[in-house]
């Protein structure tokens, strides 16, 4: 499994939209990172843990998601940017925080959280939406699936973002609903998906072992896990046992949203996205 790198916070770029009050930070490697801090008002350190676990597992089964890093924030950085931090109304303590890498801190081409249906044929990795549904069901993502699209030389590519809602967010529990974790526009899954379309990812999570999950746990910064380790281990034990339920959970979503007895158009959920400039496309 890919071990997240540690990147030092170098520059404070701008605030991001979303309830976590994430910030766009420039790292000392010159790249831009959407950073969620341990003191965020939408789950605190549990949000950071959720983001890391999901990012590692998505990457492990080869579903496109931004590179996850640990962003080290020092006292000198906090002193230099005290006014901006105060404006953001968030408590930031020195230490490690969660970061998602963006294509370029200044914006290296169109990035959007919406792609018109007419461009879906140019989406190179549309199958990743199928894989994301499998993992989101397994991980009990209580949020709708979030994604961003960026243009490549030959078309478009999607990356799955904002995984803080797994384990039902800060609740660290599991609930089953056909509607949760589904992307807001059904067209990305195809007009009539069947359960067999999801087999590659169902097979992939069936191969994940308790040792694999223990390895993921070991990647987390100790400062995030202190006082939470026992409960987190319980969550991961349930997650492992839950692999066998995932096929049924996916089938229930298919039956709910793509039943042949219903009109496809009547089942499209409202979509909250809109075109965005490059680095603004990452929510917090």
Residue 159 host element (H or E): strand 155-161
3 state DSSP class of 3: coil
- Least-confidence region, from 114-128, 237-251, 267-281: 267-281
Do 151 and 110 form a contact (C-beta atoms < 8 A)?
A: yes
**pLDDT, the chain, mean:** 89
144: Cβ–Cβ under 8 A, 6 or more apart, which residues? 180, 181, 182, 183, 184, 269
Q: How far apart are the first and last CA of the chain?
A: 25
* pLDDT average, residue stretch 197-226: 97
Which pLDDT does position 88 carry in this prediction?
Answer: 79
At residue 282, does pLDDT exceed 80?
no
Report pLDDT digits (tens) over 92-139: 999 999 999 986 644 445 678 899 989 988 999 999 999 999 999 999
The distance from CA 26 to its chain's CA centroid, rounded to whole angstroms, is 20
Q: In the chain, which ranges are continuous DSSP H helix? A: 45-60, 75-80, 82-88, 128-139, 199-206, 210-219, 222-225, 229-241, 246-257
133: Cβ–Cβ under 8 A, 6 or more apart, which residues? 145, 181, 182, 183, 189, 198, 250, 253
Report pLDDT digits (tens) over 52-75: 999 999 999 999 999 999 999 999
Measured distance CA(66)–CA(34) in Å, rounded: 10
At residue 183, does pLDDT exceed 80?
yes
In order of 133, 134, 265, the CA distances from 250 in angstroms are 7, 6, 20
The distance from CA 279 to its chain's CA centroid, rounded to whole angstroms, is 16
Task: List the domain boundaries for the chain.
Answer: 5-108, 111-267
At residue 223, does pLDDT exceed 60?
yes
3 state DSSP class of 170: helix
Helix 45-60 to helix 210-219 angle (10° resolution) is 130
Q: How many CB atoms lie within 10 A of CB 61?
A: 18
Residue 192 burial class via C-beta count within 10 angstroms: exposed 0-12, middle 13-18, buried 19 and up: exposed
Which pLDDT does position 152 carry in this prediction?
Answer: 82
Cross-strand partners of 123: 156
Percentage, residues of the chain above pLDDT 70: 88
At residue 150, does pLDDT exceed 50?
yes
Which pLDDT does position 222 carry in this prediction?
Answer: 96
Which pLDDT does position 193 carry in this prediction?
Answer: 94
At residue 155, does pLDDT exceed 90?
no
């Amino acid at each position: 499994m890919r071990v997240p790198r540690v990147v030092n916070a170098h520059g404070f770029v701008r605030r991001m939209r979303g309830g976590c009050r994430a910030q766009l930070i420039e790292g000392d490697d010159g790249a831009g990172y959407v950073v969620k801090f341990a003191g965020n008002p939408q789950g605190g350190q549990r949000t950071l843990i959720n983001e890391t676990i999901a990012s590692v597992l998505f990457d492990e089964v080869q579903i496109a998601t931004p590179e996850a890093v640990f962003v080290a924030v020092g006292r000198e950085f906090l002193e230099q940017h005290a006014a901006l931090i105060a404006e953001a109304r968030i408590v930031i303590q020195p230490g490690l925080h969660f970061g998602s890498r963006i294509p370029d801190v200044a914006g290296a081409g169109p990035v959007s959280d919406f792609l018109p249906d007419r461009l879906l044929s140019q989406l190179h990795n549309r199958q990743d939406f199928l894989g994301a549904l499998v993992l989101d069901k397994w991980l009990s993502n209580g949020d709708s699936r979030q994604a961003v699209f960026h243009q490549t030389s030959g078309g478009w590519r999607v990356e799955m973002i904002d995984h803080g809602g797994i384990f039902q967010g800060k609740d660290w529990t599991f609930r089953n609903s056909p509607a949760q974790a589904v992307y807001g526009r059904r067209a990305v899954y195809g007009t009539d998906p069947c359960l067999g379309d999801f087999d590659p990812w169902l097979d992939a999570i069936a191969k994940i072992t308790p040792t694999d999950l223990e390895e993921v746990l070991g990647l987390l910064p100790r400062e995030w896990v202190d006082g939470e380790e026992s409960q987190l281990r319980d969550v991961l034990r349930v997650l492992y046992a839950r692999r066998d339920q995932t096929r049924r959970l996916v089938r229930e979503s298919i039956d709910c949203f793509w039943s042949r007895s219903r009109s496809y158009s009547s089942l499209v959920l409202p979509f909250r996205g809109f075109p965005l400039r490059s680095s603004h496309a990452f929510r917090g």
